[in-house]
Amino acid sequence: MAVEAAFWERFAEVHWDSVMAEAAWGTVPSALPQTRCVLILVRDAAPVADRQMNDGGFPPIGVVSTAIEADYERALALGAVARSAPISATIGSRRLRLALFASPGGVLVEPLAAGWG
C-alpha cells in the first residue's frame, strides 16, 4: 500500500490521513469551493484483470485533466502502466480526450478532458 499511496501523493497531491498495510485514505485537492474529495484505497485479494479502455464491466477512477498527454506521461514516469494512449472521442454530443493507465498497485485510472479540437 505504501507504493500505491506514494504514487497518488505525487500524481494527485493526495494528503494522506492514514496509510496502513491494507488501506489508505486521504484528501485530494479540489478546484471547487467548499468541496472535500476523499480518496480511499483498499487492497483487494483478487488479482487485477488486464483491462483496456473499451472493455465493459470495470470501474476505473475518473480524473479530470486539462492536459491529458502531460498527465498520462507524468503517471507513467511515476510508475503507472500504460493501458490505452490518449485518444479523442465523441460520446453523445460531448467531445472528449481520454486515456487509461494502471497505477503501480493496479488501480485503473481514466484521465478525461472535455472540449478538444
Question: Which among 103, 106, 66 has a CA at the least distance from the CA of 86?
Answer: 66
- Enumerate the CATH 3.10.180.10 domain ranges in the chain, comma separated: 47-117
The three cell numbers of residue 84 are 490505452
Tens of pLDDT along the chain (117 residues) come to 999 999 999 999 999 999 999 999 999 988 778 788 899 998 876 666 666 656 665 667 888 898 999 999 999 999 999 999 999 988 888 888 999 999 998 888 999 987 755
Answer yes or no: pTM beyond 0.85: no
The three cell numbers of residue 92 are 453523445
- According to the CATH classification, is domain 47-117 in 3.40.50.300? no
Residue 94 burial by Cβ neighbours in a 10 Å radius (0-12, 13-18, 19+): exposed
The three cell numbers of residue 44 are 483487494
Cβ neighbours around 35 below 10 Å, total: 9
Residue 61: its pLDDT value, please? 87
